[in-house]
Structure 1
Amino acid sequence: MIETLIKILQEKYLVKTNIISKQQGGWASLAYKIEDKNGHFYFLKVYEKSRKSTSYLTKHIDIYLPIADWLDDQTSLKGKIIRLIKTQSENFKCEDENYVCILFDYIDGETVGEQNLTEEQVIQLAETVAQLHNLEDFPFDIKQISETFHLPFISTLSEWIEKNFDHLKVDIKELLKPNISTIKSQINEWNNLSKVLKEQHLKFCLCHTDIHHWNIITNKQHLYLLDWEGIKFAPPEADIFSIYQQPYFNSFMKKYCELNPDYQINDTVLRYYQISRKLQDIFEFIEQLQFDELNQEEYKINLNYLKKEVDTITG
């Protein structure tokens, strides 16, 4: 695989390198640090087409990448998010029969991960999110990324729970069994909330939708927000929900509301996004365990992730 990536970098980006080091990636993609012949560093994100989740995650890739580039190049978020590198043919991605690759400038810092944000970093995060939410005059059609309060995977998850439970692997069934009624209850609540919100006239803004510590890189001076695959034109709660249970929520909201003084949390919308994320995580881990070709270690890791999500689900 490394030889393939070296070839892709040289042919598509004119980046010559023999120095590729694997980094800790997300659950759905691989990540590599690249050093070229001139000592410049890049970050390469690689989706494997063999994974069941890849088609879902890259479905809107040609929509979100130009938006992420615009955010970094033309808005107040310049220097606060990861910067895309185009191919020699001016594309934001390249792919072959096996991989989809996206190249970024490397950020010299560390992922927050299990660490806590400092007070200064919380302020920076609040400023970044508020600036994102206050953007206007978009040079793209917002309809293609607008929230519809519809999630296609919900029906599939329902079928797994209701009709096709016996077709799931034994390990998955053992994890799900004690919480089947709770999962069903949350699916029902999600359906009810979806119907209600589709009828409401809510204020939308540009949202990241996946703000968590593994998508934040910090160094001594700056905080950077990564992974914009889920960018959406949606209610602010699409971002606020992921910060709601953080210990720094009040500090975050104090600064956020200074920059967005008319905002008040909509508890119904907040609940919708909380349930959506929990059900999505459960669905995606079941999907990977059931259908992807995982090695023993990958299978064990994903099984533990699923257990964590199922154990913490609340009605």
Structure 2
Amino acid sequence: MKVKYRIDDSDLITKLHKEYGIQVESVNFIPMGDSAYSYWLKCTNGERYYLKLFDHHNDKQRTSVERLPYYLPLTWQMYHQGLFRNIAYPIKNQSGDFKTTFIDITVVLFNFIEGETLAAAYPFSKEILEAIAKSVALIQKITPFIEQYTLLTETFDISFESDLEKCIWMLENTETFDNSIKQALRELVLAKKEQIFVLLNLVRKLRGIAIADTNEKVLCHGDIWGGNLIHCESGLYFIDWESAVIAPPEFDLVGYIGEEFGVFFSTYEKHTGKTVTINPDLLRFYAYRHHLRNLTTWLMNILYRNTEEAQNENDLAMILYHCMNRWDSIEPRVGTVEAWLGNRM
């Protein structure tokens, strides 16, 4: 989120002291993401924490709250049982709960990781690619040791399609918006309408192929991009596990298709300790689904959710520069993977 939640810092500090017993000196807003409001906290004793705040009036953030019971116990177990320690894990409140709910919000407190995110580090160096690939392999290898009953299993969900169709219908049936950003959105999206529906139909077809795939499913982070990776002196840390799921390994490999795939996959396979079979159609499914689901989220934000113009500006830019401009590169990048896999046989 680009604009902080409408709560006074003093009120938030009072709530956190009551629920967690911590003496917060300052609350510092972090303008990032859209599934929650992010803050880092400085306490009077010098300790620091990371805080996520979810607004119950925002339907996307309500959905994020529904996922908390799945990934918070997972990350707690991964850290405290030593399965994978380079991770953001929840801090329990004084009642022993992973989350705290007030009237209109839910908050979760996490350990603070000192370092820099890799959001602005693209293109990644060979060393960074190898570090990510090694971690992905280690995460997948702990699958037998985690309490899987607490986790979601991949269903290849594309339920966003109804919201996407609703948003396009809204844009088609409103010739003129009284908001310049919504008007710009209308022109941008309707110019791509035909391609959007071609891709949506492709995702529906690929979903059938994905469901029929019989390869093993493993623990996946589900959103391994630079903004969810923190590089510090002690190594590479993985944060924001909201999308964690038991899924085909392709779910965590799709972010590294293209020219860098050879470096990434070689290191990944080395640390899994076995030969891994890749289904290119699963890579296609995850790549196209990712972009269409993101498009839907940002459309819903602008048309129905956002209350701040700064957030609308951000979401329009995300559609233009982190979504639509990447669609045409997906097939060539998957083709590069297919060629690399074919050459090593």
> Normalized against structure 2, the TM-score is what?
0.85
Query: 3-state SS of the aligned residue for 1:115?
Result: coil
Q: Which moved more, 1:270-279 or 1:196-205?
A: 196-205
AA partner of residue 239 (structure 1):
D
Higher helix share: 2
Tell me how far 1:38 sits from its aligned partner.
Answer: 1.1
Match of 2:88 in 1: 82
Match of 2:194 in 1: 181
Q: Residue 66 in 1 paired to residue 73 in 2?
A: yes
Unaligned runs of 5+ in 2: 1-6, 332-345
Match of 1:298 in 2: 311
Query: 3-state SS of the aligned residue for 2:14?
Result: helix
Match of 1:258 in 2: 270
Question: Equivalent residues in 2 for 1:235-246 (5 A)?
Answer: 235-245=248-258
Tell me how far 1:138 sits from its aligned partner.
Answer: 4.2
Match of 2:285 in 1: 272
AA partner of residue 42 (structure 2):
E
Deviations 1:175-216 (A, max 9, x none): 101111111001101111112222332310000010000111
Please provide the CA RMSD for this pair.
2.1
* Contact 2:167/2:300 (<8 A) preserved: no
> Normalized against structure 1, the TM-score is what?
0.92
Shift in CA distance, 162/190, structure 1 to aligned 2, threshold 3 Å: farther
Match of 2:339 in 1: none
Tell me how far 1:20 sits from its aligned partner.
Answer: 1.5
CA separation in 2, counterparts of 1:159 and 1:147? 25
* Contact 1:33/1:43 (<8 A) preserved: yes
CA separation in 2, counterparts of 1:96 and 1:74? 30
Match of 1:44 in 2: 51
- State percent identity of aligned pairs: 23
CA separation in 1, counterparts of 2:148 and 2:142? 14
Match of 1:310 in 2: 324
CA separation in 1, counterparts of 2:301 and 2:170? 19
Tell me how far 1:107 sits from its aligned partner.
Answer: 0.8
Question: Equivalent residues in 2 for 1:14-163 (5 A)?
Answer: 14-78=21-85, 80-116=86-122, 117-142=124-149, 144-161=151-168
CA separation in 2, counterparts of 1:165 and 1:201? 41
AA partner of residue 90 (structure 1):
G
Q: Residue 249 in 1 paired to residue 255 in 2?
A: no
Tell me how far 1:240 sits from its aligned partner.
Answer: 0.3
Q: Residue 211 in 1 paired to residue 224 in 2?
A: yes
CA separation in 1, counterparts of 2:318 and 2:326? 11
Residue-pair matches, total: 313
* Contact 1:53/1:287 (<8 A) preserved: no
Unaligned runs of 5+ in 1: none
Shift in CA distance, 250/184, structure 1 to aligned 2, threshold 3 Å: same
